[in-house]
Amino acid sequence: MSDPVSRTILLLDIEKYSDRDDVEQAYLRRMLYDITDRTLESAGIDETLRLRADRGDSVMELIDANASVTALLRALLTNVPAELRAVNRMASRSAQIRLRAVLATGYVAVDERDGWVGSDLNHACRLLDGEVLRAALRGSGDDFALCVSESVYAGIVRHDRTGVPAADFHAVTVDSKNGPLRAWLHGTAPGDADGHGDVRNHGERGPGGRPAPDDGSGERPAPGGSQGNPAPHGAAQGGAHGAAQGGVVITFNGGSPSFGGSFVAGDQHGVSGGQVTGDVHLGGSGSGLDSGSRGESA
């Protein structure tokens, strides 16, 4: 595996992608790629400065640290909403595209299978899947919701640069397996009528007090390589997976970060005869082992 290098991390995800049929999904993917490419080009970031991973309904971009983060953030705030309005104006209801996005910075390594590894990348993926950002898009009159990491806020946003008004960003806290993650949401935060103050991850809760899954998230391959490469053998799929044994349903909620419903990284061993890292819930009781503990599967 290569040494970690500083990257700008851009994640974009299509809302309710799995609700569409195959023809509509193919169309939405084309729109996602076109919007992403035009936005990056407008920020002066050409293909030589980018690595891309295709996640089906999501796209992940690792961008050279020498590229301007300010220009990219400015393009995300102006170009993406304009692109979405232009596309959706002429599209049928079933072909409407709405996007969640996360912009972060951090250190990422590339392994021998072209997989991407790094805690900063994991954190960005958790922000993308957090209920705060999902709720922001659901409750917005716009077709775009953007969240930036603490590092992007501290280095760019708080300085109130031209085209990136600091007053438009509000602090939020996203719950994760590794504890709360601080981030900054563009626009009025969900559940915060005046748009000020720290807002914690919220929304409808599922069993055990966890956020209810977005009914349009779908399941995708785990991020693990460049465009077109399959995920490494043994990579876990996202969501809750159960195995029925003797009338008892065992549900495994992965302890690894997820990217739009799929696992990004973490020690995931084969369920048959192996080990699973993360919470283990029996039936619908909601009780389980704490995150990070290990439970042996049958």
pLDDT of residue 98: 93
Shared domain check, 155 and 94: yes
Distances (CA, A) of 97 to 20, 91, 201: 11, 9, 24
Domain count, the chain: 2
Considering the domain boundaries, does residue 234 fall inside one?
A: no
Question: Could you tell me the CATH number of the domain that includes residue 200?
Answer: 3.30.70.1230
Q: What SS3 string covers 22-37?
A: HHHHHHHHHHHHHHHH
Residue pair 29/36 in contact (Cβ under 8 Å)? The answer is no
Shared domain check, 255 and 144: no
Instruction: Give every residue of the chain whose pLDDT is below 50, as ranges.
Output: 193-197, 201-276, 280-298
Is 58 buried (19+), middle (13-18) or exposed (0-12) by CB count in 10 A? buried
pLDDT of residue 153: 97
Considering the domain boundaries, does residue 288 fall inside one?
A: yes
Shared domain check, 247 and 191: no
Q: What SS3 string covers 90-141?
A: CCCHHHCCCEEEEEEEEEEEECCCCCEECHHHHHHHHHHHCHHHHHHHHCCC
Per-residue pLDDT tens for 48-80?
A: 999 998 877 889 999 999 999 999 999 999 999
Range of the domain at 153: 5-209
pLDDT of residue 265: 46
Considering the domain boundaries, does residue 273 fall inside one?
A: yes
Is 210 buried (19+), middle (13-18) or exposed (0-12) by CB count in 10 A? middle
pLDDT of residue 182: 94
Considering the domain boundaries, does residue 191 fall inside one?
A: yes
pLDDT of residue 24: 87
Shared domain check, 189 and 90: yes
Shared domain check, 155 and 13: yes
User: Which of 163, 191, 209 delimits the end of a domain?
Assistant: 209
- How far, in Å, CA of 128 to CA of 11, rounded? 7
What six digits make up the tokens of 14?
């299509």
Shared domain check, 53 and 177: yes
- How much is the mean pLDDT over the chain? 74
pLDDT of residue 78: 95
Residue pair 99/13 in contact (Cβ under 8 Å)? The answer is yes
- How far, in Å, CA of 236 to CA of 144, rounded? 29
Shared domain check, 48 and 181: yes
Torsion angle, alpha carbons of 281, 202, 129, 106, to 10 = -110
Shared domain check, 174 and 84: yes
Considering the domain boundaries, does residue 233 fall inside one?
A: no
User: Which of 192, 209, 226 delimits the end of a domain?
Assistant: 209
Residue pair 96/20 in contact (Cβ under 8 Å)? The answer is no
